[in-house]
Amino acid sequence: MPYSAEISRRQPSCFLFLIDQSGSMADAFSSESASKGTAKGANESLHKTSEPIQKAQAVADAVNRLLDSLGQRCVKGNEIYDYFDVGVIGYNSEVASALNGIAGDQVIAPIGKIYENPAELEKRAQKLPDGMGGLVEVYNDFPIWFKPVASGGTAMCSVFAMARLLLEEWIEKHPNSYPPTIINITDGESTDGNPTEEAMHLKKLGTSDGSVLLYNIHLSAEYTQPVSFPNTVEVLSDPYARLMFELSSPLPYAAQKAAEKEGYKIAPDARAFMFNADPVKLIQFLDIGTRTENLR
């Protein structure tokens, strides 16, 4: 069966996050979707505020939180097992690593190297039960690997091309590993051409365990009903949404089960795609896309 290879230090897997940093990422989620993102305490990494959350800030918070979570999954006693190689690429009019030299010259680096070297620790407030029916505010260190950026265009063709070159090299070194997973987070259309050809080249890459997985999530500045993990393009009226659906990989079995645990109804042929997502959906999407059951 594809997507069943054990993940070990000798045979790691790879997560590559592509972060839209275009000018429109400075826009805020609607106040309704922002309050939805914090009312249920989705995660302490999101700013607790009644003000709308900037999309760039929500993405930075969510991905920083996920990098911390990936690192924690790999801690065994006093040691970090490098089960994952990880890269974060920002793209606007230019394309470059978003980790600002944390991993040296490497764009993709072992999780241990990233996890142990955040750029800074920021104090974040979290409300916890006080044992007497109330809440107490506690401040915790929140590790920051990269900060929000919002300027320029949306060079999606270029970032897919860069991802292909990086993963060709990675796969050559790990031909039998669990295939790399790419998660593309964007709020708009590509400004450097139609990304279909580059995305198809990317998805043709693979290890002996299966093809590269490409997840796509679109963030909405309006409080509109999201479309989550559809299995048909017919539920999408927006031409851009239809294109991103076609570019997205089928959702693998482990991710299907993870999505079902989050309350989504998942068809066997569901795609790794979400349209018009809010901050909570973004966090869920990242968790689902990086869920692994076969660490050794």
Say yes or no to pLDDT of 216 above 80. yes
Q: 45-87: per-residue pLDDT in tens?
A: 444 445 678 999 999 999 999 999 999 999 999 999 999 999 9
Q: 119-152: per-residue pLDDT in tens?
A: 999 988 777 787 777 888 888 889 999 999 999 9
- Within 10 angstroms of residue 40's Cβ, the number of other Cβ atoms is 9
Say yes or no to pLDDT of 36 above 70. no
Say yes or no to pLDDT of 171 above 90. yes
* Measured distance CA(186)–CA(288) in Å, rounded: 17
pLDDT of residue 47: 45
pLDDT of residue 292: 84
Tell me, what DSSP letter sits at residue 43? Answer: -
pLDDT of residue 10: 95
pTM (predicted TM-score) = 0.90
pLDDT of residue 33: 52
pLDDT of residue 225: 85
pLDDT of residue 101: 82
How many CA atoms are closer than 13 Å to the CA of 88, on its beta-carbon side?
A: 24
* Measured distance CA(202)–CA(212) in Å, rounded: 7
pLDDT of residue 32: 55
pLDDT of residue 31: 59
Q: Are 159 and 91 in contact (CB under 8 A)?
A: yes
Q: 240-276: per-residue pLDDT in tens?
A: 999 999 999 999 999 999 999 999 999 999 999 999 9
Average per-residue pLDDT in the chain? Answer: 90
Q: Which residues contact 59 (CB under 8 A, 6 or more apart)?
A: 19, 20, 25, 148, 185, 219, 282
Say yes or no to pLDDT of 158 above 60. yes
pLDDT of residue 41: 39
| Percent of all residues in the chain with a pLDDT value above 90, rounded to a whole number | 76
pLDDT of residue 220: 85
Say yes or no to pLDDT of 222 above 80. no
Q: Are 255 and 272 in contact (CB under 8 A)?
A: yes
- Higher-confidence position of 193 and 128: 193
* Measured distance CA(146)–CA(90) in Å, rounded: 10
